[in-house]
Amino acid sequence: MESVANYRRLTAVAVTSVLLTGVVGVVGATSSDAASGASRIVVTSTVARTQPAVSARATARLDRMERVVVTAKRAGWAKTNVGWVPTKTLSSGNRYADNVAAEHGLRVQYTNNQACGVRASVNTADAFDASGCYVDGSPTVQLTKSAAYNGTAAWKRDAIRDLVLHEATHAKIYAITGSASPRLARTRAEQVTDAYAWKYLGASRSAGGYGFTKADLAKATKIHSMGR
């Protein structure tokens, strides 16, 4: 289950040579991040508490996509402006990809040494090469370090969004079927994933770089109906 996004800029908003893919991972705020008061996104609804323990008194209920400021960490817990919360319920960072992933309850690990192997990572003024991967059952997607881009270039942000949505779709299909490459999709799991990402997550028609046929779309629709 692997894909690569390889882009060359034609204009300020145009890209070419598109090929996307998927991976898995987890990243945590560093101590330096915590010390500086790092902004994080709530990935999974949770309860903030007075101390880093589930038995401590609750101070606030946090819903997915709310933002908090992390000021310290301790053994799987993060101290925020509203109380202590489990670190796993927060995004790994506050980059564009983290925001897109958080919308679908996922965290991002930025690494070039992915579960799918070592992958190219290029981010220059005129070129952008990134890849991602999803591992069955994981709450995390792995993206190459180039995908940590947090600038304003629309062509790069579009590429990152499609990359994350493709992997988020793998996670959704896994949640429905128990496999990111279900038997229903047979040898066209990536194409069915692209179809699902386009129809239900708002991705471009070739978010993972695979594209899809009417038959792939029909399978994606059937998988979605299974999750209702």
Residues 61 and 11 both lie in one domain? no
Residues 195 and 152 both lie in one domain? yes
Residues 20 and 43 both lie in one domain? no
Residues 162 and 133 both lie in one domain? yes
Domain-ending residue, one of 89, 111, 131? 89
Q: 8 forms bridges with which residues in the sheet?
A: 16, 127
Predicted TM-score of the model (pTM): 0.81
Domain-ending residue, one of 67, 89, 111? 89
Taking only the tens place, the pLDDT of each residue in 87-97 is 999 999 999 99
**What integer pLDDT is reported at residue 204 of this predicted model?**
94
Residues 46 and 108 both lie in one domain? no
CATH number at residue 71: 2.30.30
Which of 38-47, 116-125, 196-205, 216-225 has the lowest average pLDDT? Answer: 116-125
**What integer pLDDT is reported at residue 4 of this predicted model?**
53
Say which residue, 35 or 147, is predicted with more confidence. 147
Residues 222 and 170 both lie in one domain? yes
Residues 148 and 212 both lie in one domain? yes
> 78 lies in which domain range?
31-89
Domain count, the chain: 2
Q: Which tokens belong to 196?
A: 């699902």
Query: Where do runs of H (alpha helix) occur along the chain?
Result: 31-36, 96-102, 154-177, 189-201, 214-226
Taking only the tens place, the pLDDT of each residue in 196-220 is 999 999 999 988 889 999 999 999 9
Residues 116 and 59 both lie in one domain? no
Residues 59 and 117 both lie in one domain? no
Residues 116 and 194 both lie in one domain? yes
Residues 54 and 150 both lie in one domain? no
Taking residues 129-145, what's their average pLDDT?
Answer: 92
Q: Which amino acid is at 166?
A: H
- Spatial separation of the C-alpha atoms in residues 91 and 25, rounded to whole Å: 12
**What integer pLDDT is reported at residue 2 of this predicted model?**
56
Domain-ending residue, one of 47, 72, 89? 89
Q: Is 124 exposed, middle or buried (0-12, 13-18, 19+ CB in 10 A)?
A: exposed
Asked if 56 and 106 count as a contact pair (C-beta separation under 8 A), the reply is no
Residue written as token pair 């790092």:
38
**What integer pLDDT is reported at residue 37 of this predicted model?**
75
Say which residue, 2 or 63, is predicted with more confidence. 63
Residues 52 and 22 both lie in one domain? no
The percent of residues in the chain predicted with pLDDT above 70, rounded, is 84
Mean pLDDT (the chain) is: 85
